[in-house]
Chains A and B, each alone.
Chain A
């Protein structure tokens, strides 16, 4: 009389186990929260892991000031619903220098995200940070540990990662060192969507199609989300029915033309689509091993 757990039940149980291990062994854990669909799933899993207690750690949003408006709206609500403290960090140097994705290229990601994250972790003294990265996103991620060990300067050394056997995680570290923990490492994009569907998790409406003002540039469809958008010569916003497969800074995130306005329709389109999720992000296209390089520099 055995009952076979479904793949989603097992992935959920694994993620909950990982989150509880961290809370039991870390001094000051935090959950990185980017308001995207993976973050939404992470937050939901955290609520399940500790229920009836609220998750015993804060949420941290490393903000770039360039996210979509709709993301900022959901951010506050999601934290409130979970009964969690929300910390928002913006790199003061990036603010001071007015770093933006239109004028500064890859410096934008570097200053706001990579540097901002390091500063935020140091400022609050967090020793373990949960992240929503998945192994299926990119080749170098496939070898990332669930507990990813970082030096006191936040460096990631692929040669110096700890073996992970069974479900035993080694969370011991010296003062100043930290660990990034990825509880949904073994989930795929389809798992995420199915879980959101099954658990009725609230996500940013931008994942669903609607008529939105857009500009086509370098083969990417960009959404004109606010009046900071810098138009090139001859560019005019055109209304198109679009949605996003992944969300980041709005001037760096490519949309897809779509009419999928419900979750099953989105999943349907995803299953029938022929391009991978990260293609919508400008950051990965530089070179084959670009993500690996970014990680060594401290990018999440």
Chain B
């Protein structure tokens, strides 16, 4: 049997435990993924690695033997796959549907293996597992050769920047260890790999089931002269070692300030090394200082490297807070707000181009919008396809813009400053993962032109504080009527105002927009920008738009200084608005002549905490207007 090498019962354990502990506390750590479909023997391979490195205990083995007889697929033999298939639902279906993490260790290394499902509908799971891996094992069933899923897995591993690839041609026992067949598969894979930019990989013939070339060289493949899988995993280079050679970058997680005499900046070093005396620059501000101390509970350090979590102190008191990046002074990363990126969509609800999502990159959290994709990638053929959006598991290239500049580096150079997630602002779900490639020239070359008459000066001249009174509610709720009443009253009070009405704006500025979700978002974005310009000019702006989505109302709120955006919810039950049906629109919508009508076949997301709420069943428009004015006082 190939599992004669017994790692765990090393002689040292019994004879000299202190020596053993000394050896084992100097082990390094390799994280890898195994990619393959149900039938490629992936779970069997992982089960075999655990078994051969003696990570399976007797009670687990007893359970395994019992389970193998009850629901195994290997007859009376041990079904290693049952060791690793965790959740009850998965066991019953016989497939792995989530990423599971397994652990084993040898003399030289500890291993964390992310066991990822192989089906196309689990692309997001594989991307998740690949994001933290130093190495990928691409499994191929020797009887089947390079399949569609082999291409998909290789593409995803490459996309996530995994540098070490192992092509494990599995189930060699089932083709009688046929060297010609093996070499044909490797040849075929090599030409495919080159086409997607994988210029180096390590191929090996194995059998997870029989144990060939797993921990020892197999007598069944005398023609194979490479190392067994385990030996390769033990010696391959680690990402964090390569990261040390790069320029120093550390995203600041937390400012450590126990008292007035100590101010430290805590974070995990992304790349490079740092020493006391190093000149550093804080991004995005660009201010410079010198590292004074590297503080840890175990005493100050004389140096720290990529991967370590430390607390840095500066020689000078310069501003620095969570989200900033500390970098080497003479070679800092870029700061930008528009990028080209590859996005992997991970949510059931598709991407809505133009909608604002939270973007988290390193320790920075900003509001970001994604443009309609330039193209989506067919993960099986790598072809580029036209796409208007990205559905669950879709991968596409799109421009992304953030509401304020962020510190970044291309993902290929720095995973920490180039990898990001997108978070839905309402559900708070993580909806996408992405990789920034480069900043767009547009953002680099368009600078903000400073003007001398400030928004404060504009407002002071009008003797008022600018505001946007944002009326939201169903069609027919009375938004326009009430907004009109409010503007009349403000006018009588010598206030400088302007009313932007939904229907009116669609006659001009927004006449190119329809009523799809994407167009409605763009409608609100433009109105928000116009209203903001007017507020900058010192005006009190009233807007009357259905504005059905919370995310877009919040987007406009975020454009303005605190307190200037006043959300006014004109509350009218649907049946009341529909009964009024001033413009006859509900009738058309019910008859199916009008699509995407809010309240009928398109949702209205009511404000959770509006600044002002008026109920038009209980109040007349004049009463509602008077109530609103009272809430707004004083106006200066």
Contact = CB atoms under 8 A, between A and B. Distances in A.
A163 B58 contact: no
Interface string A10-25: 1111101100110110
B131 interface: yes
B404 to A, nearest CB: 18
Contacts of B132: 165-167
A10 B109 contact: no
A25 to B, nearest CB: 8
A2 interface: yes
A13 B428 contact: no
Most chain B CB neighbours (cut-off 10 Å) among A5, A54, A173: A5
Interface stretch (A91-99, A133-141, A225-233, A250-258): A133-141
Interface in B102-119: 102-103, 105, 109-110, 112
A275 B58 contact: yes
A170 B103 contact: no
A148 interface: no
B336 interface: no
Interface in A149-199: 158, 162-168, 170, 172-174, 185-186, 188, 190-191, 194, 197-198
Given A165-B433, A170-B423, A289-B88, 13 more contacts: A4-B240, A5-B240, A13-B308, A24-B253, A52-B262, A140-B86, A142-B86, A163-B430, A168-B421, A170-B360, A172-B423, A186-B103, A276-B59
Contact of A48 (B112, B297, B305, B430): B297
Interface string B29-41: 1000000000000
B440 interface: no
Contact of A143 (B98, B127, B296): B98
A279 interface: yes
Nearest to B262: A52
A292 interface: yes
Contact of B26 (A6, A162, A265): A6
A102 interface: no
Contacts of A51: 295-297, 311
A48 B308 CA distance: 12
Contacts of A185: 101
Contacts of A48: 296-298
30 contacts: A5-B308, A6-B29, A7-B110, A11-B29, A16-B268, A20-B253, A52-B256, A139-B85, A142-B86, A162-B430, A163-B430, A164-B128, A165-B127, A165-B128, A165-B131, A165-B132, A165-B419, A166-B416, A168-B421, A170-B360, A170-B430, A172-B423, A172-B428, A191-B110, A264-B18, A268-B20, A273-B57, A274-B57, A275-B59, A293-B88
A3 interface: yes
Nearest to B102: A142
Contacts of A186: 101, 103, 112
Q: For the complex of A and B, list the 8 residue pairs with the smallest distance between their C-beta atoms, beginning with the closest.
A: A7-B29, A16-B309, A289-B88, A274-B58, A276-B57, A53-B258, A165-B131, A7-B110
Contact of B238 (A4, A13, A16, A190): A4
B594 interface: no
A47 B110 contact: no
Interface string B119-144: 00000110110011000000000000
A135 B87 contact: no
Contacts of B322: 24
A162 B98 CA distance: 11
Contacts of B262: 52
A188 B430 CA distance: 28
A16 B101 CA distance: 20
Contacts of A53: 256-258
B87 A10 contact: no
Nearest to B258: A53
B339 to A, nearest CB: 16
Given A51-B311, A162-B430, A6 B28 contact: yes
Contacts of A47: 297
A167 B37 CA distance: 26
A49 interface: yes
B21 interface: yes
Contacts of A73: none
Q: How large is the interface on A (under 10, 10 to 19, 20 to 34, 35 or more residues)?
A: 35 or more
For chain B, what secondary structure do more than half of its interface residues adopt (helix, strand, loop), or is it mixed?
A: mixed
A278 to B, nearest CB: 9
Contacts, number: 200
Nearest to A263: B21
A155 B307 CA distance: 34
B241 interface: yes
Contact of A5 (B59, B307, B433): B307
Contacts of B13: 268, 271-272
B17 A265 contact: yes
A8 interface: yes
Contacts of A142: 84, 86, 100-102
A11 B88 CA distance: 29
Most chain B CB neighbours (cut-off 10 Å) among A11, A279, A288: A288
Contact of B17 (A52, A167, A264): A264
Contacts of B253: 17, 20-21, 24
B21 A163 contact: no
A114 B21 CA distance: 37
B241 A50 contact: no
A29 B619 CA distance: 44
B533 interface: no
Interface in B306-342: 307-309, 311, 322
Interface of A: 2-14, 16-17, 20-21, 23-24, 47-54, 135-136, 139-140, 142-143, 158, 162-168, 170, 172-174, 185-186, 188, 190-191, 194, 197-198, 264-265, 267-268, 271-276, 279, 288-289, 292-293
A39 to B, nearest CB: 18
A54 B430 CA distance: 32
B451 interface: no
A7 B27 contact: yes
B385 interface: no
Interface in B387-433: 415-416, 419-421, 423, 428-430, 433
Contacts of B63: 288
A277 to B, nearest CB: 8
A21 B256 CA distance: 13
Contacts of B593: none
Given A24-B253, A197-B21, A163 B128 contact: yes
Contacts of B494: none
Nearest to A146: B101
B241 A4 contact: yes
Given A10-B29, A135-B101, A168-B421, A163 B346 contact: yes
B96 to A, nearest CB: 9
A267 to B, nearest CB: 6
Nearest to B26: A6
Contact of B309 (A17, A163, A197): A17
Given A13-B308, A13-B309, A188 B244 contact: no
A264 B21 contact: yes
Contacts of A17: 253, 268, 309
Nearest to B240: A5
A164 B601 CA distance: 34
A51 to B, nearest CB: 4
A188 B57 contact: no
Contacts of A14: 309
B110 A143 contact: no
A143 B87 contact: yes
A289 B87 CA distance: 7
A53 B127 CA distance: 37
Contact of A276 (B60, B240, B267): B60
A17 B262 CA distance: 20
Given A264-B17, A272-B14, A3 B305 contact: yes
Nearest to A48: B297
B268 A167 contact: yes
A116 to B, nearest CB: 26
Interface string B343-364: 0001000000000001011010
